[in-house]
Amino acid sequence: MTQRAKIDTGGGETAGSGPPVVHRPGGLTSAEVAERVARGEVNDVPVRSSRSTTEIVRANVLTRFNAIIGVLWAIMLFVAPIQDSLFGFVIVANTGIGIIQELRAKKTLDGLAVIGEAKPTVRRDGAPTEISTSAIVLGDLIELGPGDKVVVDGEVAEADSLEVDESLLTGEADPVVKKPGDRMMSGSFVVAGGGAFTATKVGREAYAAQLAEEASRFTLVHSELRTGISTILKYVTWMMVPTALGLILSQLFAKSDNVKDAIARTVGGIVPMIPEGLVLLTSVAFAIGVVRLGRKQCLVQELPAIEGLARVDVVCLDKTGTLTEGGMNLTELRPLHDADETYVRKVLAALGESDPHPNASLQAVVDAFPETPVEWRCTASLPFSSARKYSGASFSEGDGENSTWLLGAPDVLLRAGDPVLADIDRLDEQGLRVLLLARTDHDLDEPGPTADARPTALVVLEQRLRPDAAETLAYFAEQNVTTKVISGDNAVSVGAVAGKLGMAGAEDTVDARTLPADREEMAKVLDANAVFGRVTPQQKRDMVAALQSRGHTVAMTGDGVNDVLALKDADIGVSMGSGSEATRAVAQIVLLNNSFATLPSVVAEGRRVIGNITRVATLFLTKTVYSVLLAVLVVCFQVEYPFLPRHLTLLSTLTIGVPAFFLALAPNTERARPHFVRRVMRYAIPGGVIAAVATFTTYLLARHHYTGPDALAAETSAATLTLFLVSMWVLAIIARPYTWWRLTLVATMGGAFLLVLVVPWLQQFFALKLIGVTMPWTAVAIAAAGGVLLEFVWRWVGRRFPA
């Protein structure tokens, strides 16, 4: 076995203050680990995939509206029959459902997080051991390779051409070369080379932990749905306060002879103003989406990411690991300029041996040439990096001759116009990946070792296409989601692979080295083309920003360290489960089964959540609008509020609560559209106004029609009938397009209300009894007129203000 590239070791002072760190090549002993754990010197920062149980319960119970309803419920329990307190029991049930569903989602998330959790390698008792991040103790010697994330602060103990990217912490994208004694900051990641470092700060003392409690999270997904609902609730609160005050005063004045009934009717007017189930159903919809995706081995690290991917209109794909599988096969070795093939094989075997952390391309070389020349000794090595596009090594060949070799991208190592490039282009057009083996007289640490590179052989690799990639690309095309392949490989080769998968525009490829630096000009090129090769990590980041500058919502998929910057800056980052630790840390969605075909399921879940919440939000806010307007009309006309809490509990349950639960969880493939608040309110406002005016009209007519001691009950029953029928019309519109189960749902709700009207004990329980013939049919006629007006207004709004 040849000697690997020399690894420097040493110790020194930790950057900043503190005692010197002693490098222990064999790491800590088991006894030392136990001692440190006992002292609490352990990396105890929780890596949470979701909220804690306490936070879930608090978030569902301690809300502004629960507080308001709780106070009103307590009042009603003292001043009115139990029927008028039903709304409180409904809120308790809803809150319980929300907690149970979110805990269920938490269990799924936490289970998946354990599967996808990074397992850093530490040396203990002289042997490398994989452990969980939380098991690292102070003084542990942690090994590093390309793609590994630095999980705690420390000091470099061993360095083998170690290059670290600290951009997630400092914003500086250039890799930093690390030598023994240099400081390592948690949150950075290795882009090239390898080594080991000694943990000097763990837990909440680590640098990244000081920046954020969850060390792996540096960005949060923007959720228009969450923001929109918060905005709506804010405005609802502003409307509620003055309206409720006016209603309280008017009812006490109108019913001064019966204070308890006045209080009951006041509460009946306030409770329906609160869209209490809207937040609940949103949480439930997200939680059930997480559980469904969890069954498909998809870890959603931030709940709104489901929504975000559904809004995406551009998906940027890294070829390797996304369209192709990670492994490669060496299919041909083509010596150039009469080079001796046996000698070339020795060189390739030695290059494979020189890198302790080979990437996929070099691993294919290692697999093809496992027999390394015993007499060769590696004197220096340069690991592969995405920025350089090549790796290299210097050897003493045993006979006194020294040589330096480079292996990497042919169009980087050769000058433009070199005749060898013509042969490479023909191979690229077949979708093959080609590496050039070249000899150089320059040292690897010189500024330009490629200046006099002499081509010696072509190494032809075949990439394995993912069997599900073509179907997934076709899905995105059908859904009008643009796909862009952004790869560090040769553009022609990337285009050939995309062409084999049936991707539109694959024949027009762009070499990223020709892209303009100006963001606006770059965005124009990106919009016009679909396949880009020779893209550097920084360019990937710039390309994501350029697309976003044109108003696109961008998702980025990838699995290598060269994708980290772009994944972080994209609206949604998607990482393969087999990807590097750094990519999994910054991605919002991790495909643990490494299947690109899972993405359509995530998109479908997002569309289901957004489309259905938009539907049910319209139901809830229609109720809020008509409740506020009814209260205002009651105050203005100085009449008794027509409803008791039991009436509106019944109406809310049949026209909103039960239907909304089923509609929120139903399949929905409608493409997500922006402007959630505008789209909901443009229908909720006219719907609520029509319902309120129709109901109040029926109530005023009933007040003139009925006389006697039971007049108020008869007036309430007539008004309730009108409001129910108009609300059912709103539900019928929301439920479109009709399916058998949606028609059954609407019919069942109508049948339940009819049951209340005809069963005597239900009539008595809900204080509903239609008296006579004239007024009930008048109530139906007014509701029918309101329904026709609803149809006309909603269709006009749809044409006048398209989404």
Question: Looking at residue 758, which CATH number applies to its domain?
Answer: 1.20.1110.10
Domain boundary among 602, 622, 649: 602
Q: Which of 602, 636, 660 is the last residue of a domain?
A: 602
Report the distance separating Cα 779 and Cα 756, nearest Å. 17
Judged against a pLDDT cut of 80, whether residue 271 lies above it is answered with no
Confidence of residue 784 (pLDDT cuts 50, 70, 90): very high
> Using omega within 30 degrees of 0 as the cis cutoff, is the peptide bond preceding 737 cis?
yes
How would residue 667 be classed by pLDDT, with cut points 50, 70 and 90?
confident
**417 has pLDDT over 90:** no
Whether residues 420 and 490 share a domain: the answer is no
Q: Which long-range contacts (CB under 8 A, 24 or more apart) does 628-632 make?
A: 628/239, 628/240, 628/243, 628/273, 628/688, 629/688, 629/689, 629/692, 629/693, 630/269, 630/692, 630/695, 630/696, 631/243, 631/244, 631/246, 631/247, 631/269, 631/270, 631/273, 632/243, 632/246
Query: 679 and 736, same structural domain?
Result: yes
CA 261 – CA 284 distance, rounded (Å): 36
Residue 776's pLDDT band (boundaries 50, 70, 90)?
very high
Contact criterion met (CB below 8 Å) for 414 and 420:
yes
Residue 334 has a CB neighbour count (10 Å cut-off) of 17
Nearest residue to 218 via CA among 289, 281, 159, 170:
170
Do residues 477 and 336 lie in contact, with contact meaning Cβ atoms separated by under 8 Å?
no
Contact 486, 613 (CB under 8 A): no
Check residue 309 and give its pLDDT: 77
Cα distances (Å, whole numbers) of residue 485 to 354, 501, 526: 32, 12, 10
Mean pLDDT of the region 686-696: 94
Cα Dmax for the chain:
119
Query: In this structure, is residue 82 part of a structural domain?
Result: no
**Do 660 and 790 reside in the same domain of the chain?**
yes
How many domains are contained in the chain?
A: 4
Residues 453 and 544 in one domain: no
- Is 517 in the same domain as 591? yes
Strand order in the sheet with 554-558: 298-300, 589-591, 572-576, 554-558, 314-317, 482-486, 531-533, 509-511
**pTM for the structure as a whole:** 0.69
Provide the mean pLDDT of the chain. 81
Does residue 185 share a domain with residue 317?
no
Spatial distance between the Cα atoms of 12 and 14, rounded to a whole number of angstroms: 6
Give the range among 13-22, 74-83, 716-725 with minimum mean pLDDT.
13-22
Domain limits for position 197: 8-40+118-211
Phi, psi of 128 (to 5 degrees): -70, 135
Residue with tokens 């006490």: 252
- The active-site residue out of 313, 318, 428, 563 is 318
Question: Rounded distance, CA 298 to CA 792, Å?
Answer: 44
Q: Which residues of 203-222 are buried (b: 16+ CB within 10 A; e: fewer)?
A: bebbbbbebeeebbbeeebe
- What is the identity of the amino acid at 597? A
d(CA 760, CA 259): 28
Alpha-helical regions (H) of 706-737: 711-734
Q: Can you tell me the distance from the alpha carbon of 630 to that of 643, in angstroms, rounded to the nearest whole number?
A: 10
Answer for the pair 393, 442: CB distance below 8 angstroms, yes or no. no
Q: Of 198-207, 332-341, 477-486, 610-619, which range is least confident?
A: 198-207
Return the minimum-mean-pLDDT range out of 204-213, 234-243, 342-351, 587-596.
Answer: 204-213
**Can you read off the two tokens belonging to residue 662?**
């089923």
Work out the pLDDT band at 45, boundaries 50, 70, 90.
Answer: low
pLDDT in tens, 122-153: 999 888 888 888 888 888 999 988 878 888 88
Q: Name the 3-class secondary structure at 452.
A: coil
The contacts of residue 235 (CB under 8 Å, 6+ apart) are none
Final residue before a domain boundary, out of 568, 602, 636: 602
Residue 271 domain flag: yes
Q: What confidence tens digit (pLDDT) does each residue in 499-518 have? A: 888 888 888 889 888 899 88
pLDDT for 525: 93
Q: Is it the case that residue 380 has pLDDT exceeding 70? A: yes
Identify whether residues 429 and 478 lie together within a single domain. no
Tens-digit pLDDT profile for residues 214-250 = 333 334 456 777 778 778 778 877 887 788 788 777 7
What confidence category does residue 99 fall into, taking pLDDT thresholds of 50, 70 and 90?
confident
Task: Give the pLDDT score at 212.
Answer: 39
Average pLDDT over residues 4-20: 37
What local confidence, expressed as pLDDT, does residue 733 receive? 93
**pLDDT score recorded for residue 11:** 36
Model confidence at 725: pLDDT above 80: yes
- Confidence band of 537 (pLDDT split at 50, 70, 90): confident
Out of 200-204, 214-218, 484-488, pick the least confident.
214-218
**Three-state DSSP state, 598:** helix
Q: Cα dist. 47→31, 107, 148, 601, 684 in Å?
A: 26, 14, 17, 26, 41
Active site (annotated) includes residue 318: yes
Taking a C-beta distance cutoff of 8 angstroms, is the pair 512, 539 a contact?
yes
The residue ranking higher by pLDDT, 703 or 326, is 703
Most confident of 316-330, 363-377, 579-593, 666-680: 363-377
How crowded is the C-beta side of 420, counted as CA atoms within 13 Å?
Answer: 23
> In the structure encoding, which two tokens stand for residue 148, read together?
């590994």
Residue 77: both structure tokens together: 């329990």
Same domain, 596 and 648: no
Assess contact for 42 and 35: CB atoms under 8 A. Answer: no
DSSP state of 596: G
Minimum mean pLDDT range among 95-104, 433-442, 735-744, 787-796: 95-104
Q: Tell me which of 55-64, 533-542, 785-794 is least confident.
A: 55-64
- In the chain, pLDDT over 70 holds for what percent of residues? 89
Whichever domain contains 436, its CATH number is: 3.40.1110.10
Q: CA 371, CA 391: separation in Å to the nearest integer?
A: 20
Q: What pLDDT is stored for residue 425 in this prediction?
A: 82
Do 577 and 635 reside in the same domain of the chain? no
Q: Which of 457-471, 538-552, 633-647 has the highest mean pLDDT?
A: 538-552
What is the model's pLDDT at position 6?
33
In a domain, 725, yes or no: yes
Asked if 623 and 746 sit in the same domain, the reply is: yes
Is 113 inside any structural domain? no
Domain of 546, CATH number, reads 3.40.50.1000
Closest CA to 197 of 157, 153, 242, 240: 157
In this structure, are residues 730 and 675 in contact, taking their beta carbons and an 8 Å threshold?
Answer: no
**Which conformational region is residue 276 in: left (phi greater than 0), alpha (psi within -120 to 50 degrees), or beta?**
alpha
Q: Distance (Å, rounded) from C-alpha 786 to C-alpha 220?
A: 44
Question: Averaged over 753-781, what is the pLDDT?
Answer: 90
Cα 1 to Cα 375: distance, rounded to the nearest angstrom: 8
| Confidence category of residue 51, pLDDT binned at 50, 70, 90 | low
Residue 45 lies in a domain: no
Q: What mean pLDDT do residues 267-295 have?
A: 77
Percent of the chain residues past pLDDT 90, beyond the cut: 16
Domain for residue 78, yes or no?
no
Q: Which of 589, 583, 484 is nearest to 531 (CA)?
A: 484
State the CATH number of the domain containing residue 175: 2.70.150.10
Distance CA 251, CA 507 (A): 74
CA 502 distance to own-chain centroid: 27
Q: Of 241, 270, 303, 259, give the one whose Cα is nearest residue 102.
A: 303
pLDDT of 113 reads 61
Residue 116 pLDDT level (bands cut at 50, 70, 90): low
- Taking residues 444-468, what's their average pLDDT? 82
Q: Please give the average per-residue pLDDT across 98-124, as a whole number.
A: 74
pLDDT 10s digits, 587-597? 888 888 878 78
CB atoms within 10 A of CB 675: 13
Residue 731 resides in a domain: yes
Considering the domain architecture, whether residues 365 and 450 belong to the same structural domain is answered as yes
So what's the pLDDT on residue 372?
75
Q: Which residue has better confidence, 241 or 755?
A: 755
Q: What is the pLDDT of residue 174?
A: 65
Q: In this structure, what token pair is assigned to residue 474?
A: 């076709």
User: At residue 7, does pLDDT exceed 50?
Assistant: no
Helices (H) and strands (E) in the chain, counts: 28, 22
Quick one: 670 and 657 in the same domain?
A: yes
Q: Is residue 66 part of a domain?
A: no
